[in-house]
């Protein structure tokens, strides 16, 4: 039996511990906000928070999450989080495939570093590939959210 917390809710499961966290979230729990891109740790589309750290859910096995707290994009609420609002309002979302992962990577950064430098922002999202935005608006959205979250 594996017991973990997902988006604040305790989940107990007998699912094979060798299942990828990504598959457990999407297929067993229906949390399809977490996307699968490359499936091998290169694109960041599957980023979730594991005990507050941004991780690639395609590289994490369910068994490694026993006793841990996982946050997916659904755990940030229904679009009302400052990062979600700034990404949308500043045009940092185009196709949107990378967006949940970017938001969670940025969330991990702003939690440990509320006033990041440009370099720190770039480093935080360097593992999240976006084919659409060019990152300028993504960076602007992260700074906008940082301002709002510090008020």
What is d(CA 20, CA 120) in angstroms, rounded to the nearest whole number?
29
Residue of the chain from 98, 105, 125, 141 that contacts ligand FES (CB under 6 A): 98
Q: Closer to ligand FES at the Cβ: 17 or 96?
A: 96
* Contact of 56 with 41, CB cutoff 8 Å: yes
Q: Report, in Å, the least distance between residue 143 CB and ligand FES.
A: 18
Stretch that binds ligand FES, among 9-17, 42-50, 81-89, 114-122 (CB under 6 A): 42-50
Q: Report, in Å, the least distance between residue 84 CB and ligand FES.
A: 14
Q: How many CA atoms lie within 13 A of 92 on its CB side?
A: 27
The terminus-to-terminus CA distance of the chain in angstroms comes to 42
Stretch that binds ligand FES, among 83-91, 109-117, 131-139, 141-149 (CB under 6 A): 131-139
Q: Report, in Å, the least distance between residue 14 CB and ligand FES.
A: 25
What stretches of 27-150 show up as alpha helix (H) in DSSP?
82-89, 99-112, 118-124, 136-150
């Amino acid at each position: 039996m594996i017991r973990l917390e997902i988006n604040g809710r305790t989940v107990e499961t007998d699912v094979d511990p060798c299942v990828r966290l990504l598959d457990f979230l999407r297929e067993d729990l229906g949390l399809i906000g977490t996307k699968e891109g490359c499936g091998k740790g290169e694109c960041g589309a599957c980023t979730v928070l594991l005990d507050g750290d941004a991780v690639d859910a395609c590289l994490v096995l369910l068994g490694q999450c026993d006793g841990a707290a996982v946050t997916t994009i659904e755990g940030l609420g229904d679009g009302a989080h400052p990062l979600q609002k700034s990404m949308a309002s500043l045009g940092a979302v185009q196709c949107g495939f990378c967006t949940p992962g970017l938001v969670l990577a940025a969330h991990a950064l702003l939690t440990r570093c509320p006033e990041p430098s440009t370099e720190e922002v770039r480093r935080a999202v360097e593992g999240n590939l976006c084919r659409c935005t060019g990152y300028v608006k993504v960076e602007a959205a992260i700074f906008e959210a940082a301002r709002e979250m510090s008020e």
